[in-house]
Amino acid sequence: MRVREVDPHDTTWEQDDATYRAYFWDRSARASDEYEVTGADVEDVLAWARAKAAEAGSTYTLYVRVADEGRPGLVRLSGVAGDPFA
């Protein structure tokens, strides 16, 4: 982990309401269940994802949905990185 001080003026926008994507990976079926979550704080979404994964005996990946030049994409926040079926 690397930590450095930053200039808080180096960004041009911020958004208070986030859209999250949660993927729950079932390795035995080589499949996933996907959900979109809005209207929640990241801590609440993380707690929900961890509890749901534990209940189902699966792993998860949590992303925040962002746009880059108008194109949608995902930034991983927590959970499994890469291809969980590899």
Residue indicated by tokens 């291809």: 83
Read off the pLDDT of residues 35-82 as tens digits, 9 standing for 90 and up. Answer: 999 999 999 999 999 999 999 999 999 999 999 888 999 999 999 998
Question: 9 lies in a domain?
Answer: no
Per-residue model confidence (pLDDT) at position 61 = 97
Question: 33 lies in a domain?
Answer: yes
Euclidean distance between CA atoms 77 and 51, whole angstroms: 16
Considering its fold, how many domains does the chain have in total? 1
Question: 26 lies in a domain?
Answer: yes
Q: Is 41 helix (H, G, I), strand (E, B) or coil?
A: coil
Q: Tokens in use for 28?
A: 């035995």
Question: 84 lies in a domain?
Answer: no
Euclidean distance between CA atoms 22 and 50, whole angstroms: 10
Question: 34 lies in a domain?
Answer: yes
Question: 66 lies in a domain?
Answer: yes
Q: What range defines the domain where residue 23 resides?
A: 19-79
Question: 29 lies in a domain?
Answer: yes
